[in-house]
Amino acid sequence: MVHSRFASIALIGFVVATSYAGYTARAAIHPSVTKHLDNARIQAQLGKTDEAVSYAQAMLMGNHITVSVDYGDTPVAQMPACDEAVKGAFDMWETALDHEVTFSRVSHGEKSDVKIKFDQHTKLNNQIVSGYINWSRTVEETTEGPKPHFSADVFLRTTDPAGNKMTGKTMRHTCGHEFGHMFGLDDVKEVGMLMGPLDIRHPLTKPTEAEVDTVKAIREECHNLIVTAKIGSGTHAEHFAENGHDRD
């Protein structure tokens, strides 16, 4: 579970250096990403190709993400701003990822990968926050083999700490920030990065180049793990055939 806070002054920023296939991240990567991909590597090393692929696919979340919206106690007059925020967050990440990933809204109550809940009084641990996200990535054993599963609940605040209505632009920043967590980014302290605190005077319209590059590196590592796991499995089978051994 991660969250974003309001901010009105710039704070000292930091990045977490994590390497994926020779790439050193220039934005903070959430610790759960490394743990999840390590699980994929371990399964591959054990020869469990389907499990390894499923772990990597759970991190990728698929190429199309469905989203439902619950307006909660949002005044009717503010609902268009909420819609603007959601669509803007879709657009910022679709553009950033070269449309490799797309989003679409489904009706509230329909099954969706992501559920967004707007509320005037969103808090986390009894503290006012502009938004936060809970997510789950699992690999489920089914009769057809292991299957990846991803889901997330995003909570977005519609009022600022002074009780004023948040604009579509400020809520877009927060929604985009929470989506950044979905893609594997962690919070930073630097105002001016999407994953930093929200400055309600200057909401961002897109992730920084460093944040985009880091998400792309995470996704590339997932794709590499999938290819490696599948090749490893195929190479193992061919090795026995070429050397004249029978498999039990």
- Structural domains in the chain, CATH included, are 2-242 (3.40.390.10)
Residue 4 has pLDDT above 50, yes or no: no
The residues that bridge with 105 in the sheet, in sequence order, are: 67
Mean pLDDT over each residue of the chain, to the nearest integer = 86
Report which of residues 24 and 170 the model is more confident about. Answer: 170
Three-state secondary structure call for residue 52: helix
pTM, rounded to two decimals: 0.86
pLDDT value of residue 154: 97
Task: Measure the CA–CA gap between 173 and 167, rounded to whole angstroms.
Answer: 10
pLDDT value of residue 195: 95
Tell me the mean pLDDT in the region 222-233.
84
Task: Measure the CA–CA gap between 25 and 221, rounded to whole angstroms.
Answer: 12
pLDDT value of residue 230: 83
The residues that bridge with 137 in the sheet, in sequence order, are: 150
Residue 2 has pLDDT above 70, yes or no: no
Q: What is the largest CA-CA distance in the chain?
A: 76
Residue 242 has pLDDT above 50, yes or no: no
Q: What is the CA radius of gyration of the chain?
A: 20
Q: Give pLDDT tens digits for 88-144.
A: 999 999 999 999 999 999 999 999 999 999 999 999 988 999 999 999 999 998 888
Half-sphere exposure of 170 (CA within 13 A, CB side): 25
The proportion of the chain whose per-residue pLDDT surpasses 70, expressed as a percent, equals 83
Residue 64 has pLDDT above 90, yes or no: yes
Residue 160 has pLDDT above 70, yes or no: yes
